[in-house]
Structure 1
């Protein structure tokens, strides 16, 4: 069952990880200017989680009777998910700010550095073990992001100053670092909870986390008067008013798939695997950005992409080798145990 959930969550994560940046960029390309609104949309689809939770509840009730619990989350876990939600809301803003300033192909390459941050925080928070291959991957991803940093002027959008572009670059890097911290923090929360972690509990955790991230971004929208600007922006949107609202709705749905997939992979495997899946989808997002938005793909992006792919391959090869060695060790130990 856990393998099925892992596959399902990898699919959700893939849809959100590739579709989220593309639809966010679509909003900005055609006249959207509201960063807080974009960050709000990243978690604003949290009510969607009520549907699977309701289905899960009625399935439990059919087998366990009318006294079945509606929710499993206890106060300590609720507080933890709320705190992580606020951190996620801040991360949403950093990422949306970068998305407003950078082409998708560039921001995706920067986000690749998230794997390095996830690996580092996983080591500190959940004692993730490392091999020479994983260390090599971290170094290569870091160098890849550095190559982009040294050639920031090559893909700067027209009408955007160097200062704005650099701000977008470092905001996106900050988003990668912060979410690299959030993923292991979620795994640590799972480990520390005294209650058995079920998939229903994971969905509740995701809903509360998204709710508090949305509240954080709603405060930003109120201060920035984004709600008042939505009708005007819709009327001036390059694709038309109807498509403006469709972009907003689909953005919320696709980003919710990303967050549900991310924490679902943590539940089914680990935070590090969640980070790896996010990073390994980089080439897909790169290709889609070039195809749909005709973004430039110059030499430094090619070098950065090659280093990133080298890092991913190194990590996966190391994991496969480690798993094979571990399996052989277990088989040897089993053979050495004397029969009673």
Structure 2
């Protein structure tokens, strides 16, 4: 009898131990699965950003190179593809949201923010189009890399970004890499533009870079303080509203400037033909929106700084493609600018690595 009780007690203990082990295993596997899914999503968004950023810039420059002259049309190409986001939003309906009440509760604040960011986005898109008109693609992309520094600068005030020695080094190098191109005579001669037009292009590109950094930082503020715990669908909705506002503003600019009247003759005289004209602009609009999805996804999964860091990874891509497609000259100042920009980017990435490592060690010590 005692032997039976002992066997029963041992069996009960083994059963309880197995149940506890199973619970621990399941609880640990769930976070691992979520972690893998998160990194898979980040990888996809990174691919979108790296490829579509370069494609969109190259296609916009291709429009100018073959007889296109409308800066408003190039501006319109950037936000007008937002119906693609609606399609993407439709297929992400499986994502359950439990924040609808809170979302509508902050509708006034969120709506005002989206309108302001949409207006700011249209202005940034226009001045970047002007910059691309007067500058070679390689020069434009190298100057635009300073966006990483502007994002860090605005994130310092808006998102409590700390200025460590590595961040300061990154900002300094990115500033110098852009400053090297101010008096680049070879780039100016290659485009057959005057000194004034070249400086206008440079200033507009710097302004667009700063504005893009500001928008990324403001979007992160809205996501964290207004939406607080948003779903990815909510983030995409926010981008759709901003793109809609930007599209309306740019369309008004296109008609008010009178450039809409010249589009018919522009299509007729386009060097690559009418079909190529439409395909060129449509492809630029498509790639621009896929890039937007990638940027929004990286902001949602990580931060605006990380999103902008990934954008900077594509820095060497555009100049190399520009040399092949447009025969842009890669002179000594551009090469040195690329080296400094990559150095600044690596410095920034290393600081991001240190922050992640510190966060992981703090999490481990708490557990």
Tell me the TM-score normalised to structure 2 length.
0.84
The question of 1:155 aligning with 2:184 is answered no
* Pair 1:32–1:194, CA change in 2 (3 A): closer
How far apart are 1:3 and its partner, in Å? 2.7
The question of 1:19 aligning with 2:55 is answered yes
Please identify, of 124-133 and 97-106, the stretch whose mean Cα deviation from structure 2 is larger: 124-133
Where structure 2 has 5 or more consecutive residues not aligned to the other structure, the ranges are: 1-36
Number of the residue aligned with 2:294: 261
2:271 maps to which of 205, 213, 238: 238
Name the SS of the counterpart of 1:205 in structure 2.
helix
Please identify, of 323-332 and 160-169, the stretch whose mean Cα deviation from structure 2 is larger: 323-332
CA distance in 2, matches of 1:279, 1:221: 31
* Pair 1:191–1:329, CA change in 2 (3 A): closer
Please identify, of 74-83 and 250-259, the stretch whose mean Cα deviation from structure 2 is larger: 74-83
2:73 maps to which of 9, 34, 37: 37
Equivalences for 1:187-336 in 2 at 5 Å?
187-194=220-227, 196-332=229-365, 334=367
How far apart are 1:190 and its partner, in Å? 0.5
Kept in 2, the 8 Å contact 1:125–1:184? The answer is: yes
The question of 1:47 aligning with 2:83 is answered yes
2:142 maps to which of 105, 109, 117: 109
Moved over 4 A (4+): none
The question of 1:127 aligning with 2:163 is answered no
Tell me the TM-score normalised to structure 1 length.
0.90
How far apart are 1:178 and its partner, in Å? 0.7
Number of the residue aligned with 1:94: 127
CA distance in 2, matches of 1:35, 1:12: 25
Kept in 1, the 8 Å contact 2:136–2:191? The answer is: no
Question: Deviations for 1:66-106, whole angstroms, at most 9, x for unmatched residues?
Answer: xx97xx66342222112111101100001000011111100
Name the SS of the counterpart of 2:328 in structure 1.
coil
How far apart are 1:231 and its partner, in Å? 1.6
Which has the larger Rg?
Answer: 2
How far apart are 1:241 and its partner, in Å? 1.1
Where structure 1 has 5 or more consecutive residues not aligned to the other structure, the ranges are: 335-340
Question: Deviations for 1:163-202, whole angstroms, at most 9, x for unmatched residues?
Answer: 1111111100100011111100000001111563101111
Kept in 2, the 8 Å contact 1:15–1:257? The answer is: no
* Pair 1:159–1:147, CA change in 2 (3 A): closer
Instruction: Give the number of equivalent residue pairs.
Output: 326
Name the SS of the counterpart of 1:193 in structure 2.
helix
Number of the residue aligned with 1:338: none
How far apart are 1:313 and its partner, in Å? 1.3
Question: Deviations for 1:39-87, whole angstroms, at most 9, x for unmatched residues?
Answer: 0101110111111222233x46xx99xxx97xx6634222211211110
CA RMSD of aligned residues (A): 2.0
How far apart are 1:211 and its partner, in Å? 0.7
CA distance in 2, matches of 1:190, 1:168: 33
How far apart are 1:262 and its partner, in Å? 1.4
1:28 maps to which of 44, 55, 64: 64
* Pair 1:158–1:107, CA change in 2 (3 A): closer
